[in-house]
Amino acid sequence: MMASERLDVDGLAALVRMCEDVRVRLVLVNEEGQWQLYHGEVLLDASDLDTGEEETWLYPTVAFVARRLRGGLVADLLRGEPVDIDRFRVVVDQQSVHVATEDLRGNQVWIGRTTPWPRTEWTIRRDSTPYRNHGVLVGDASHPSFLTFDQAVSSFLYRRPHDSRATVDQLWRVVRPRRGAWFRKVTVASDRLTVDVEGDDLDDVILELSEPAGSRRLPVEGADSYTFDLPEGLRVESLLIAHRAGEWLDMRHFPAAPYGSDTSVVLEQPELELELLLVDGENPRLECKREIPDKDARTRKKMLKTVAAFASQPEGGTILFGVEDDNLEIVGLTEERSVDEQMRMIGDMIRNKLEPAPACHPRVIKHPYKRIIAVDIPGGTQPCALRDGERLEFYVRRGSSTILASYREIEEGFRQSPGTG
């Protein structure tokens, strides 16, 4: 797999034009009688993302269109030329000319999408995000109704509820699969790591497990399972990577909080996760709490400050409930309430006090004798604030401590947010 091309708009349009046909999803907004492109998503041979359906959701001021179209037609639209798609004359306010390129490993979530194989995404961002209150969108027998425009966009593009942290701020998003070599499943046991490798082009591929103390390599000899012995267990900050001629093809990274929502990584002995999480103690990505702070306002705010700090940093973080923060003793949570009730309490605290509320993922970590709940907080692309009355407070993580963010840090965080500058 060659390195992904860093393209300008014309180069990206030329890439799309080379395809006989592509799958597109278009979000159109009616501005003074013209159908203006709000967002376009193009899938190049991305069958795993393609529902195969051709559909049109039409509302008075908004239209959602899914079609398989000729690559040349979509290339013209990418270059800002008006085109006719069925009943719609689509125009593009092509102000931005900057194309950003992102290479994503397999099973990685990005703006509502997950694919088993790695992929490359090219995005063109709008110079500004237009705001218009479209009101309640009332559907008919062929398409649903929505309370807001953002909810309709999330449903149409990703078939999932709207997440305030994943607002669509790109004018264009072009997705191309990278199926040369990829990891279907990675199984971690106490004494070995096994990876199931698949791909369309496995010639000369090297599989490497890189650890802080060194690395080991295996030649890939076809789609198969490959095993690395782990006499001392999996080391924190290990990197599993497939590469060829200096270019990476797929990878998995195992930091102190390694697994989160990555469903391709399977723990053969689930109790190992708690050991791996605690191996370095509290750190910039891990916080421990003896109990869920449902009664005391001071300890509740302390926990929420940490969530805000994790959500504001790119790598996110994890909070463990049922573990002492000073000596890492595993004490477990009370059984007076059900696990579902305790996880719901945590989620409600976060949603009610943080803006924008991160899409946290409470889950139970298996332990033979104790009840432990982990909350994985995904990293954000914009600062997350804790609301204290009328005041918004921003926090950052420093080592194992959470502190108030400085004005400079807040300003820098917003400057790096998508759609700002």
- CB-based contacts of 201: which residues, under 8 Å, 6+ apart? 1, 180, 181
| 4-59 pLDDT tens trace | 667 889 999 999 999 999 999 999 999 888 999 999 999 998 666 665 678 999 99
CA distance 214 to 196: 22
Q: How confident is the model at residue 274 (pLDDT cuts 50, 70, 90)?
A: confident
Residue 213 sits in a domain of what CATH number?
2.60.40.10
What three-state secondary structure class fits 93?
coil
Whether residue 259 has pLDDT greater than 60? no
**116 within a domain of the structure (yes/no):** yes
Query: Are residues 73 and 166 both part of a single domain?
Result: yes
- Of 177, 192, 209, the position where a domain reaches its end is 177
**151 within a domain of the structure (yes/no):** yes
Whether residue 1 has pLDDT greater than 50? no
Whether residue 166 has pLDDT greater than 60? no
- CB-based contacts of 294: which residues, under 8 Å, 6+ apart? 300, 345, 349
Mean pLDDT (whole number) for 348-375: 87
Cβ pair 177, 250 in contact under 8 A: no
The pLDDT value given to residue 382: 75
Residue among 231, 225, 232 at smallest CA distance from 186: 225
The pLDDT value given to residue 96: 65
Least confident of 92-101, 190-199, 267-276: 267-276
Query: Are residues 173 and 285 both part of a single domain?
Result: no
Farthest CA pair distance, the chain: 68
**13 within a domain of the structure (yes/no):** yes
More confident residue, 348 or 269: 348
Whether residue 62 has pLDDT greater than 90? yes
Enclosing domain of residue 368: 279-415
Least confident of 154-163, 275-284, 295-304: 154-163
- Of 125, 159, 177, the position where a domain reaches its end is 177
The verdict on pTM exceeding 0.75 is: no
Q: How confident is the model at residue 162 (pLDDT cuts 50, 70, 90)?
A: low
**46 within a domain of the structure (yes/no):** yes
The pLDDT value given to residue 305: 94
The pLDDT value given to residue 255: 74
**Tokens 């990675």 sit on residue:** 186
DSSP assignment, residue 49?
G
Residue 16: how many CA atoms within 13 Å on its side-chain side?
31
Mean pLDDT (whole number) for 366-376: 86
